[in-house]
Amino acid sequence: MVEETNKHFGLALTSLILGGVSLLSFMLYGLSAIPALIGAIFGLICLIKGQKHVRVMGGIGMAVCILGIIAAVAMVYLYASMINWQNVNMDAFQSLQNIDQTDKTQVTEWVQQFFKMDISSYIN
């Protein structure tokens, strides 16, 4: 009985830690959704099988993981909304061969075609 409680406590703690990791790394192009999904599963297991104090901890871990998933999805949406999808095609990528890759202005103009916003202020 004690061993099973410790097992579920470990899952609850892992759920909390993975949720925290996902919240701290949500700007990594959606990769933070992976630990958040794993943590949410661990939290759900604790909610179903754990005892009272483990259920609370698992529920909190699951909630933090869900927030991490929401943040990751929001960041993927924001990143995708910055891209000018009409210009993402093979012709645009092959046009890289026609520019002087050592000329910073030409490279900036080539990259700019893929973004809806002005990126010139982000390039030194």
The string over 55-70, giving b where at least 16 C-beta atoms fall within 10 Å of a residue's C-beta and e elsewhere, is bebbbbbbebbbebbe
Q: What is the pLDDT confidence band of residue 111, given thresholds at 50, 70 and 90?
A: very high
pLDDT value, residue 2: 55
**And the tokens for 34?**
């992976």
Q: What is the pLDDT of residues 98-109, one digit of tens each?
A: 999 899 989 999
pLDDT value, residue 28: 87
Q: What is the pLDDT confidence band of residue 120, given thresholds at 50, 70 and 90?
A: confident
Q: What is the pLDDT of residues 49-100, one digit of tens each?
A: 988 889 999 999 999 999 999 999 999 999 999 999 999 999 999 998 999 9
Under a CB-based contact definition with an 8 Å cutoff, are residues 46 and 77 in contact?
no
- Residue ranges of the domains in the chain? 2-79, 85-122
